[in-house]
Amino acid sequence: MSSSDQSAERKQQLLAEIITRARAGQNEAWGEMYEEYAPALYRFCRHTLRNHEDAEDATAEIFLKLRQKLDQYDAERPFSPWLYRLAANHCYDLLRRRNRQGPAVDDFDTLPANDTDPNQLDRLVAEQRSDRVRGGLDRLDERPRMALLLRYYCEMSYDDIAAALQIPRPYVGVVLLRARQQLRGELEKGSGA
C-alpha cells in the first residue's frame, strides 16, 4: 500500500472516529468537524448564493442540519458527497425562497455533447484573471455553477458530484460540459469578444 493510500485510509479512520463521537454528543467532535469542513462549505455557499452574509448564515445553518441529520448518514458511503448534498439542497431552498429562478430540470437527452475537452476550465482559469472567472461563475444558473464548484474547487469525482447534486452519474459529464460552455460564453461577453 502506498503512503498516499495509507494517508487517505488514516484520514477516513479519523473521520469515522469524529462522526462516532459527534453522534455520541461530544461537542469537541462537532468542533473538529466544523474546522475541517466549514471553510470549503463557506466557499461553496459563497459562490452559490453570491454574497458573503448569506454564505456565512448558510454555512452555520448547514452545520445545524448536519447535527440533526448525522444519524441518517450511511458510514459505508463517502461523507463529503453526503455533506455537499445537504449544502446544495440548503442553497437551492434559500434561492427558491428568495423567489429566484431555481435550477431548471434539463432534458439531458437534448444537451449538446460535442466538445470533449475536459481541460476547458483549467485553460480558462489560466487565460483569465480569477476575478473575471468568479464573476462569470456568479452569472451562471445554480446547477451549472454548483457542478463546476464541486468539480474544480472541491475536486470531487463524477460519482461524488452525482450524489451531491442528486443527478444520474452518466449526466454529470454533460452538466459539466454545458456549464463550461456557459462559463466560456459569460467570459467572452465580459471581454467584449
Same domain, residue pair 85 and 8: yes
The mean predicted confidence, pLDDT, of the chain is 82
Q: Which domain holds residue 54?
A: 3-97
Given pLDDT bands bounded at 50, 70 and 90, which one contains residue 129? low
Same domain, residue pair 12 and 70: yes
What is the domain-level CATH number for residue 37? 1.10.1740.10
Q: Assess if residue 125 is contained within a domain.
A: yes
Average pLDDT over residues 121-148: 75
Same domain, residue pair 73 and 123: no
pLDDT of residue 92: 86
Average pLDDT over residues 15-32: 93
Q: Assess if residue 173 is contained within a domain.
A: yes
What is the domain-level CATH number for residue 120? 1.10.10.10
115, pLDDT greater than 60 = no
**Residue the block writes with cell 459563497:** 46
Average pLDDT over residues 103-119: 45
114, pLDDT greater than 60 = no
Same domain, residue pair 119 and 35: no
Same domain, residue pair 48 and 123: no
DSSP string, the chain: --HHHHHHHHHHHHHHHHHHHHHTT-HHHHHHHHHHHHHHHHHHHHHHH-SHHHHHHHHHHHHHHHHHHGGG--TTS-HHHHHHHHHHHHHHHHHHHTT--------GGGS------TTHHHHHHHHS-HHHHHHHHHTS-HHHHHHHIIIIIS---HHHHHHHHT--HHHHHHHHHHHHHHHHHHHHHHHT-
* Residue range 53-107, pLDDT digits in tens: 999 999 999 999 999 999 999 988 889 999 999 999 999 888 888 754 444 444 4
Same domain, residue pair 76 and 10: yes
108, pLDDT greater than 50 = no
Q: Assess if residue 157 is contained within a domain.
A: yes
Same domain, residue pair 117 and 79: no
Same domain, residue pair 20 and 78: yes
Average pLDDT over residues 3-16: 83
Same domain, residue pair 72 and 7: yes
Number of folded domains in the chain?
Answer: 2
Pick the last residue of a domain from 48, 77, 97: 97
5, pLDDT greater than 90 = no
Average pLDDT over residues 187-191: 78
Same domain, residue pair 77 and 14: yes
pLDDT of residue 142: 84
Residues of the chain with pLDDT > 90, as a percent, come to 40
